[in-house]
Every structure is written in structure tokens, then in C-alpha cells.
Chain A
Amino acid sequence: MAVTGFMLVCFISVHLLGNLSVFFGVDAINIYAEKLHSLGPVVWIFRMAILLLFAVHITFGIQLTVENSSASPEAYAIKKRLKTTFAAESMIYTGLIILVFLLYHLLHFTVHVVHTDAVSAVQTLVNGRPDVFTMIGKSFNSAFISIVYVIAMCALFLHLSHGLQSFIQTFGLNNGKTQDTVTAIGKLAAIFYGLAYIAIPLAFLFHIVKI
């Protein structure tokens, strides 16, 4: 869980850096996309590796949840929450939301089979490069698409707000002095990831970035 979780965090960090290039004009993200595609087989190796990561993470996540609920089959008449958080209790649900989103996201921007009117923009060349920028922009001008992305990123935020401090603890990197700091930094980092990802659809939706 922790190993794959951590690697997925690495992935979403790199993915975020790439995506934030939409804030640097039409060419920035188009160059980035062209570069990625020019890598050919390497891109495919990465894609497969990431899908494998997701598959392992999800399989363990489901197994963990099943094992844990069978270890605690009975519920108390009253149970006070002492320290845990909503985020920690809903890891499997936020995880599954991310999974559904992931499939949708791949159909949308990778396979180009949903929202075809918006994604068809990628077929036109701008400065000799496929126009990924307009594809993204047109998509996020739709309130529906933007809202779907924002909801999914809220789930990601919740998942990370528990997950980040959790993997530090699972790797045994904590001690009595670091505990609270690690938890606080984990939450701040989760807020950062959440806001940074959400900024992209909202920037287009509210025409802060224009296509």
C-alpha cells in the first residue's frame, strides 16, 4: 500500500508539473505533449508501469478493506471518534472515486472517445504541433466536465490528506517528535495538490486562461 501509494504520489507530482504548463501559453503544453509522444516506446513503458501501480494499489486497497472489516464485524451502539478523520475513514471510497475518474480521464484525454467535439481540437496543428492546449481548454469550458474534474480532485485531496502522513508512518520514518509535523505537512501538501489540480479546469471555466 505504502510503496505503491508513494510511487503514485511521485506520478501525480510529475503529472501536475506537466499539466501546470497550460498556464504558460498555447505552446508550453503543446511542446510538452509533443516531447512525451516523441519518446515512443518509453511512454508506453511508463504508461504500463503506472497502470500496474494503480492495479497493485487498488488490489491491496480492496484486500486491506475486506480484511479489516472482517476483523471488526460488530459495531458498537455508540462509538466516539477519538483521533481519526473523515479522510482516513473514507480511503476506500475516495480511492474508488479516483478509480472511476481515472477511467473517465483516460477515455477523455488519452483515448479521445468521450466529449469528441472538444477533444477533436487535438487534430489541428498549431505551430506544427497537435493542439493539446485547445483540447483541454474547450473541454474545461464545459461546466459539466469541469465539475467532474473538481469533484475527483476533491477525492484526491481527501485521499492524500490521510495517505501522505500514513505512508511516512508505514515506512517507519516517524518518531514521537515528528508525528504531528508530518501529519500537518501531509495535510498541507494534500491541499496544495488539490488546489493545483483544481486550478486547471477552473482557470478555463472562468476564462482566466483563454483559448
Chain B
Amino acid sequence: MFDFRFYEIWRSEEFVQVLFEGAFNSFWLTTVGGIFGFILGTGLALLQDKSVFVGLRLLARSYVEIIRNTPFVVQMFFVAFGLPILLDMQWSFFASALLAIMLNFSAYFSEIIRSGIDSTPKGQIEAAYSLGFKKYDLVKDIILPQALEKVYPSLVSQFVFLFLTTGLISEIGIEDITWAGRFISDRNFRDFEVYLVLSAIYMSMSWMFILILNGCRRKLFPWRAEK
């Protein structure tokens, strides 16, 4: 039987601190990247479905296709090393990680939001038009709120899934949970225990995200609770 020695992690104050900081970094990068990714994703969904300009539709569509069909690592390296050269600008790896998360999440979110927009009952659109709504208000006040309510559970599970892929940001030196794991196992050589602990941390953070987001649901969509 394998001899588990978790104390090889706990006994070092430094290891524990690295884990906590890693969890904290993963948490806020994913949260902030997720929020901006959601905003961008909503914009991309609307551009694809509702823009009158064919060029913009195509642009948004291509963007989503590219992101969803290339690996996150490649996107992140592009943001961290390619873009700075192309734009002749410098930014921190933190900024790169955040940007990469946002750009990556947005494409997945936009696909889900689109499915919600597409499922708007025809009667809702007709009712709004018959009252004299312009398209802009129709989309903003009628279509979007209902679409988001409908796809909220899918957005939450997509978000949690994407959170689990963010460990790749450790590849550009961001000190997230995965980076903390590597830091510790490089020093105590207890890879098995370390990655078990990492899994436990990822899992509890996923549950925490789900709890928080499900808790927001009633506040965000009060009409749902009242049914």
C-alpha cells in the first residue's frame, strides 16, 4: 500500500502559503476574467445574431470559431508573446493571463448565450414590435434578459469547466494553484499527495463557484423564483 505522507505538505509554512496564494490568484483571475468574458461573450452573441452589418457578424463568428478550435495554451502564448510584438506594447504576465482567460471564456459563453437568444418565442418579438419597440430596445429589454435566464445553468457549468482549464496560466509563470503544486512537488517530491491536494482544492473551489452563482440566480432573475 502506498504510504501517503500529506504532512510533507502541511509541515512547511511556505508550502501552505503558496497553496493559499495560488488558490487566491486562480480565484480572482477566473472571476474577473469570467465577468469580462461574459460581457464580451454577450456582445459577440448579439453581433452574430442581431447585427445588421454582415461584416461584423462574420468577424464575430470567425473569432468564436478560432477560439473554440484552438488550444488555450496557444491562445495564451499568443496574448503573452505574440500580441506584444504585433502591437509593440508591453504588459505583465498577469495581464496576459487575465486577457487570455477573458478572450477564451467569451467565445464559449457567446455560443451558449446565442442558443438562448435563438430560442426567444416569436410571440415576444411580435408583442414588442406591436407596441412600437425599436429593435435595440427589443433586444436589450426583452430578448436578452429572457435568454440569459434560460441559459444561466449552462453558463454556470461552462464557467466551472473553464475554471478547471485555467491551470495552464502557470505555464507563463502565474502563481496559481497548479503553479503552487509544481512548486511544492519540485521540493518535496511527493507528487501524488500534492496533486491529490490540488484536486481537492480545485473541486472545492468549483463547488464554491456553483454555490455562489446559484445563489445569485434568484436575485438576477426574480421572475423565475415566483413561478
| A, B from the same assembly | no
A interface list, Cβ under 8 A from B: none
